[in-house]
Structure 1
């Protein structure tokens, strides 16, 4: 065999390893474990950091206020320097819909060393501690919850003995670009952080989905959250690592009744979502970036290129290895497309989507070295320190 055939064989070997040895990341059957009702439902405070979210709050906040929870629960929305009337919209929605009590607070501008979201979370937790809750639900302003969401989260944490229970919200998939990019976003996340490994106490893998995190107050205090992760751009993963390092048990899975209502209709919107934190995920390390680019190229781009190039060169081994690797890749993506109720013909297009993510990651690094860092809603975090190691 020639060199190209050997490279394609390496891509196939990589896919066989991912299929069987990477925590079965491609399976989408890991859902919130059912839990028995506790003898006494614990108090819960819901903390919602919100910056310029007036547009999405009408589709999300009423679902929190309407939670069917047998215990005492209260919502704290932290208006993080919004300029679009987010706080006023929240108060008006609470007055119109009723339900759980709502408190709207404002922390002011974050001091040096804090990201805006974590500064808002800190303020919300400080307000919540006056109620002495057993649990905190940290949820984003664009997340809509089913009426039994809080009840199910608390029951799962209570029965399973978890200190942190997180659900990956089902992201919005409506536009053509969302169909192409969004399911792959969750697929790549699960590949990097296999959900089944996260719940294993002895495994180092730790991650959470920031849109929906139920956290024991004692575990937050033990892990010094959010102070210990105040600089983290990828705050959900850093939160999970801090809790697991401090001895807490954590769980992450896909959601059925927790949905993001935020639209990403254009490629530019999705590009910003990914590129703002992609290089932070690589700990701002150029060698890790290089390895990531090479890895993405080998795993996702070589198989389809080998099929085309092998056919042109009449190289049977190259075509065979490339086709098998592409087939395994496509098969592992099918469950995620089914979870998102998307047509299965999108599965063979995963290499193209991976190429887009490769470009987004490189762009994230370029912006970092230009001093722009991670930018979100008018704030730029120039060259932030990397998140703590596992």
Structure 2
């Protein structure tokens, strides 16, 4: 066989392995586990870190205030040094809508070694423990909207299945052209890296959560020492899940049908910044891991369409068959995610183009790191921590 045929065959082998041996990552039927009504509903503190979120709070905060929860629940919104009146707006919305009690607090700028979000979460948890002594903590972002029974369903799932951490990946907005092209692929790639089915398996080393919606047993948080033990983490949701699982906690992650992100990413630049700010941190700031990622993405996502075209031009039958089958498997595994996001299926064959965009975003993330800009978010830049985060375990 030709070199092209061997390369295409390697890509096909990689896709067959991903299809059958990577935890069936492509399936989207991962919903909340068994839910049972507790005899007595536990108390919950809803901790919301918020930095310059005045644009989205009118849509997200009322959904928390209106939670239909039978037990005691309080909201602790932590205004992380906002400059747009986030804290005052939150108080106004609470006065207008009523519902769950709301406490707005401000911790000030984070000290060295802390990311802003985790410093805000620490402050919110401390405030909740002083005020309420909650059984559970719901960590949710300020751009996340919840259906009225979201909290009740999360608690019932954690109680019914004995999980210490239950997290749902909020359905991200996919309305603009660039959101339609990039957002479903973002979740698809995440599931490929952290197969949801493996996360819930006791003894599995795979651990991840989605920071927009994490229900965490307070006892498990204390046992894992979070957020102090992960205070430097840029990818804080994955670090949180690892900390909880490494201390004996049982965790679960799946897709959401009652939790939505309302933050818009209308332009390519908006999505580019979202991905690139943490992509190199995911690779532990290691050049060799970056090189391996680039080579892997090219082999898995670029070789099938490029190899098929080249094989057809040169008349290389074996290469054409291998590349074509690899592209077909890739396309088929992407269809369920497009259906979950209610997107047209003709986007599925375009996944290689989206993968190239993600490759460029990852390389840009490394370039920004070596320029000293690190992971930047809302006016803050985080350099590489002294103690790097562990690589994902598959």
Q: Do the structures match in fold with TM over 0.5?
A: yes
Distance in 2, Cα, partners of 1:8 & 1:63: 49
Residues 247-296 of structure 1: per-residue CA shift (max 9 Å, x gap): 00000000001000000000000000000000000111111111000000
Tell me the residue number matched to 1:133: 134
The size of the alignment, in residue pairs, is: 390
Distance in 2, Cα, partners of 1:93 & 1:268: 31
Tell me the residue number matched to 2:82: 82
After TM superposition, give the deviation of residue 34 of structure 1 in Å. Answer: 3.5
Residues 107-128 of structure 1: per-residue CA shift (max 9 Å, x gap): 0000000000000000000001
TM-score between both structures, scaled by the size of structure 2: 0.98
Residues 296-334 of structure 1: per-residue CA shift (max 9 Å, x gap): 000000000011101111111111111100000000000
Moved over 6 A (4+): none
Distance in 2, Cα, partners of 1:387 & 1:112: 17
Tell me the residue number matched to 2:361: 360
Contact 2:34 2:161 in 1 (8 A): no
Tell me the residue number matched to 1:43: 43
Tell me the residue number matched to 2:217: 216
How large is the RMSD of aligned CA atoms in angstroms?
A: 0.7
Tell me the residue number matched to 2:389: 387
Tell me the residue number matched to 1:157: 158
Distance in 2, Cα, partners of 1:274 & 1:318: 33
Distance in 1, Cα, partners of 2:279 & 2:175: 24
Contact 1:60 1:141 in 2 (8 A): yes
Contact 1:32 1:156 in 2 (8 A): yes
Distance in 1, Cα, partners of 2:57 & 2:32: 25
Tell me the residue number matched to 1:196: 197
Tell me the residue number matched to 2:258: 257
After TM superposition, give the deviation of residue 181 of structure 1 in Å. Answer: 0.1
Residues 352-388 of structure 1: per-residue CA shift (max 9 Å, x gap): 0000000000000011111110000000112334224
Tell me the residue number matched to 1:310: 311
Distance in 2, Cα, partners of 1:246 & 1:289: 30
Report SS of the residue matched to 1:375. Answer: strand
Tell me the residue number matched to 2:117: 117
1:258-337 to 2 correspondence within 5 Å? 258-337=259-338
Tell me the residue number matched to 1:71: 71
1:55-70 to 2 correspondence within 5 Å? 55-70=55-70
Tell me the residue number matched to 1:101: 101
Distance in 2, Cα, partners of 1:256 & 1:4: 43
Contact 1:238 1:387 in 2 (8 A): yes
Consecutive unaligned residues of structure 2, counting only runs of 5 or more, are none
Distance in 1, Cα, partners of 2:13 & 2:289: 21
Distance in 2, Cα, partners of 1:212 & 1:107: 22
Report SS of the residue matched to 1:203. Answer: coil
Contact 2:166 2:251 in 1 (8 A): yes
Tell me the residue number matched to 1:14: 14
TM-score between both structures, scaled by the size of structure 1: 0.99
Distance in 2, Cα, partners of 1:4 & 1:45: 57
After TM superposition, give the deviation of residue 36 of structure 1 in Å. Answer: 1.1
Residues 11-66 of structure 1: per-residue CA shift (max 9 Å, x gap): 00000000000000000001012411000000000000000000000010000000
Tell me the residue number matched to 2:172: 171
Contact 1:372 1:383 in 2 (8 A): no
Distance in 2, Cα, partners of 1:205 & 1:387: 14
Q: 1:347 to 1:222 in 2, by over 3 A?
A: same
Consecutive unaligned residues of structure 1, counting only runs of 5 or more, are none
Report SS of the residue matched to 2:87. Answer: helix
Residues 219-274 of structure 1: per-residue CA shift (max 9 Å, x gap): 00000000000000000000000000000000000000100000000000000000
After TM superposition, give the deviation of residue 4 of structure 1 in Å. Answer: 1.0
